[in-house]
Chains A and B, each alone.
Chain A
Amino acid sequence: MPNESEFIRVIKESEGIIFKIAILYAADKDDQKDLYQEIVYQLWRSFDSFRSESKISTWIYRIALNTSITHLRKEKKRGPQVGIDEAVINRFDSDDSFLEERLTQLYDQVKKLNTIEKGIVLLHLEGKNYEEIAAITGFTATNVGTRLSRIKDKLRSQLKD
């Protein structure tokens, strides 16, 4: 295994990011668990190739988003999953039901966007600026700006529907 303790530290620091990506790209709880695990696995596979030229968070977003694109729902039917606790996916307890309800609305709206828009909006919600989004997605900063403005319009029209 690549530098095990370093990898564990990185994953622990980024567990929130992985959770948020899994929740937006997966269809249901089982699928979320499966995608979460697949992202951790892909990060582990790519960990040796990470060079400090880019920020670790940029690298994590890249791998996690690319994994989500190619993630196949059928995978979960290929055998039981071990090693992932329910608590990793079920983050909010009953006290947070109002927050969870509003978050469900948010997820539903974002899930209606196409794959490119979903990636860009996720990074925008994560507080990334245009240049950072451009570095992760490969689109130009100007293009990211244009797309975000279209996404805003789209979200508004979703509200009217």
Chain B
Amino acid sequence: MELDEMKTLWNEMSAKLEGQKKLTDKMIIMMTQERYQRRLSKIRTPELISAFLCFVMVLLILFSLNKFDTSYLLACAITSATILSVLPVLSLWAIRQVSRVDIKGSNYKEALLQYALAKRRFLSVQKLSFYLSFVLLIVALPVAVKMMGGKTTHIETTTWLWYLPLGFLFFVVFARWVYRCYVNVTVQLENLLREIEDQ
């Protein structure tokens, strides 16, 4: 369909819409109130539950610091606690950035620019979180074993035999998927940014 033909059709639709008033006062009020309530209760449950679990884990590690009797275990525990503290903060920060586009004060171009930049930051944070999670996968095992009453600092060979290959396999499969999504979205974002600046 050519643009002029589209315009004729659009006008036809607009004329029809003009003749149909479907919204009632009650419907409009309900729409705003329901959204308002939803925003008020818009506690991002999954993110908050994850943050809470991470916080509990950090506390458990910190309270068990005296159990980690070798420098290797202590380093693993501190690294685990640090990653567990950083991950939820990064995640909540990134989500907040994307939802902070100034809808009422910006024009379309500015809003698109803000959105694209926030999305780019969000993707970088996601990528960083992903790598941190992999480090956590490795360092958390000796810490968990020790905390659960493991008497030696050396984990049984059989545990490593299934844990590491399985973890690595999961990471490779997941990494490939994440990388593909990341590349696709990044290319789209870069195109969008180029389009915005195109004069």
Interface residues of A, Cβ cutoff 8 Å to B: 1, 4, 7-8, 11-12, 15-16, 19-20, 37-38, 40-42, 44-46, 49, 62-63, 65-67, 69-70, 78-79, 81-85, 87-88, 91-92, 96, 99, 102-103, 105-106, 109-110, 114-116, 119, 121, 124-127, 135-140, 143, 148, 151-152, 155-156, 159
Q: Is the CB of A81 within 8 A of B25?
A: no
Q: Is the CB of A99 within 8 A of B13?
A: yes
Q: Is the CB of A138 within 8 A of B32?
A: no
Q: How many residues of B contact A (CB 8 A)?
A: 51
A99 to B9, CA, bound (A): 8
Q: Is the CB of B17 within 8 A of A91?
A: yes
State which of B17, B25, B39, B107 has its C-beta within 8 Å of the C-beta of A16: B17
CB distance from A52 to the nearest CB of B (A): 15
A40 to B30, CA, bound (A): 10
Q: Is the CB of B1 within 8 A of A159?
A: yes
A115 to B16, CA, bound (A): 26
Q: Is the CB of B109 within 8 A of A138?
A: yes
B10 contacts across to A, CB distance below 8 A: 106, 125-126
Q: Is the CB of B1 within 8 A of A109?
A: yes
Cβ of B3 under 8 Å from chain A:
yes
Q: Is the CB of A103 within 8 A of B13?
A: yes
Q: Is the CB of B3 within 8 A of A151?
A: yes
The stretch of B49-57, B66-74, B189-197 that contacts the partner chain: B189-197
B105 contacts across to A, CB distance below 8 A: 49
B16 contacts across to A, CB distance below 8 A: 91-92, 96, 99
Interface residues of B, Cβ cutoff 8 Å to A: 1-3, 6-7, 9-14, 16-18, 20-23, 25, 27-36, 38-39, 42, 98-99, 101, 103-112, 115, 191-192, 195-196, 199
CB distance from A148 to the nearest CB of B (A): 8
Q: Is the CB of A62 within 8 A of B17?
A: no
Which of B28, B110, B199 has most chain A Cβ within 10 Å? B28
Q: Is the CB of B28 within 8 A of A116?
A: no
A99 to B29, CA, bound (A): 31
A126 contacts across to B, CB distance below 8 A: 10, 14
Q: Is the CB of A63 within 8 A of B3?
A: no
Q: Is the CB of B17 within 8 A of A66?
A: no
Q: Is the CB of B2 within 8 A of A62?
A: no
A12 to B, closest residue via Cβ: B23
Q: Is the CB of A83 within 8 A of B14?
A: no
Contacts A45-B104, A99-B13; is A78 near B22 (CB within 8 Å)?
no
B29 contacts across to A, CB distance below 8 A: 1, 4, 8, 83
Q: Is the CB of A124 within 8 A of B7?
A: yes
A146 to B, closest residue via Cβ: B199
Contacts A88-B22, A91-B22; is A159 near B196 (CB within 8 Å)?
no
B111 contacts across to A, CB distance below 8 A: 65-66, 69-70
Contacts A99-B16, A116-B196; is A83 near B27 (CB within 8 Å)?
yes
